[in-house]
Amino acid sequence: MVGCPLGCPLFLATLLPTASQARQRSTGGAPFLAPARKNSAFQFQLRTLENDLYMKKNGHDPREFSAPVVDGPERAFSRGMLYAVGFKKEDFKKPIIGVASTWSEVTPCNVHIDKLAREVVQGVEGAAGKSITFNTITVSDGISMGTEGMKYSMVSREIIADSIEAVSAAEGFDGVVAVGGCDKNMPGCLIALARLNRPSVFVYGGTILPGCLNGRNLDIVSIFEAVGAHSSGKISDQELEAVESCAIPGPGSCGGMYTANTMASAIEALGMSLPNSSAQAAISEEKLADCRSAGAAVLNLIKRGIRPSDILSKESFENAMTVAIALGGSTNAVLHLLAIAHAAGVRLKLDDWTRIGKRVPVLADLKPSGRYTMWELVQIGGIIPMMKILLQEGLLHGDCLTVSGKTLKQNLAPVKPYPKGQEIIRPLKNPIKPESHLVVLYGNLAPEGAVAKISGKEGLSFSGVARVFESEEKALRAILDDKIKKGDVIVIRFEGPKGGPGMREMLSPTSAIMGKGLGKEVALITDGRFSGGSHGFVIGHVTPEAFVGGPLAVVKNGDPISIDAEKRTIDLKISKAELQERLKAWKPPKPKYPRGVLAKYAGQVKPASLGAVTD
């Protein structure tokens, strides 16, 4: 297939701007050509006049939200403030577009987004709008994983959503372009755009290129699994250092079909980003053009009066779910799409994943359970040829409107098929798995549901005995110290939305399991969640969670547990009377955080089965 794209020096990131150019295969035209970087004042005025006349003729006020902020003598102080940040007199007659940048040096996923935001600005102002760029936060799951810091990850989704909503509403933006690159940026941005319901486009920051060591492609999960291999004595200190120094060569989101690439793909299928925005390298000319096109697209949405509420429907969420399943995506897609639907006022339920999953196969042979990276999928055309296949088979709703101003079917019409001989996306007649790998389970351990990621490679059922741990750290230590044996069902509890609080991801223990060679020998159950990089026989989102008295709270060491992905069940094999007796005797623990943002989150958050939303 595709070999290592680059060599392996530690500071390889400095080569990225030239190394990735012209690597991506064209797959059909974008709905907007990237606007020129410079336009004359006359062109600006002409476009502004034409847009205003068109919109007013069609009943759309292009400055619905900005006019009350900047028009009239009584708003002189507002204009005075904006003159100071670069506005000119003519800018006050243009639609004002907020460019929400998630740039920071916290993580490679977002380190380049300031440059992408500047390209969005070019697109906005080339289409006769006026931009205002502002920032929101990010946290790095990859850095904080396995520590107390990871408890802030899900919390950050809410902070991102709240901050984008607050700035955009307070400043009177007529439209918004949000640029996100890490796991919580994307759903956070979409939650905000749904709440605001103003013409909006989302731009994905793009995937990282794979690292390379001895001819083998690496990514972040390679490091986590190397830790497990190192603890088993399978690799040396020097070999571990070689992996960690080469696996992440520069900017971009983690390179498998992990949460970032899953959510980017789902958002594109949802209709909230431009075609193929989800399948471009972070450092590429294609991504820069995508940003400029998004800036122009938001002005077109304003012109036509198209808002997120016109795009976000039950059918569009079904499209997003279908694409996430076909790509073998992250369990986090379940949480995040439930949350985005909640913000959009669309009734989406946990059981919808079962309904859709029964008819949608897994087609993509992508990491973590597969062989290939997102960068390699980019080389053969990204996700849109796969979407066209799904559409032709009646698995997507083609009439759903998108931010291009066209329907999904219209967007996909010019898309060319994948090149012959590619092995990344399987044909429908020969899928990796005939039904979804994202399996919703019920039983006496999860009366309100749990979410399993079952690729089929680990088997479809598991029975064993419980090994109970009250935190992720304690479970990880037991795995690394060889205290977990074949047939164990690792139970990690009090890691749910309220109990953590924050519902930490369990990439450290799941990667340690794989690194120890126990991927097919043990199962893991938690009321926390999993990184998109997790694989193995893993079940998360157990609801009700242990902290609120869910059955997980009363599991004891040695209890028999049975999991059946085909029957969609998860059960503690003790009598109903004994389970009720244990639950009756159980007493709730004290909250771990009495104040601060984690305490606020724990007090407001709803169950994982409802998307762990806070409103």
Active-site annotation, residues? 531
* Selection from 274, 257, 222 nearest residue 373 by Cα: 257
Question: Rounded to the nearest 10 degrees, how much is the dihedral formed by the CA atoms of 447, 432, 385, 429?
Answer: -110
Q: Which residues pair with 529 in a beta bridge?
A: 505
Asked if the peptide bond before residue 35 counts as cis, ω within 30 degrees of 0, the response is no
* Selection from 507, 462, 509, 508 nearest residue 487 by Cα: 462
Q: Which residues pair with 521 in a beta bridge?
A: none
Six-digit token string for 214: 């001895």
Six-digit token string for 564: 């059946």
* Selection from 577, 602, 575, 601 nearest residue 589 by Cα: 602
Please give the DSSP secondary-structure letter assigned to residue 509: H
Contact 542, 533 (CB under 8 A): no
Asked if the peptide bond before residue 187 counts as cis, ω within 30 degrees of 0, the response is no
Residue 603 is which amino acid?
G
φ/ψ of residue 68, rounded to 5: -65, -15
CA distance 347 to 350: 10
CA distance 130 to 348: 36
Q: Dihedral of CA 69/73/78/84: which sign? A: positive
Query: Which single residue is written with the structure tokens 């594109």?
Result: 268
**Interacting residues of 536 by C-beta distance below 8 A, sequence separation 6+:** 458, 510, 513, 514, 519, 520, 522, 523, 524
Contact 398, 409 (CB under 8 A): yes
Six-digit token string for 474: 């304690």
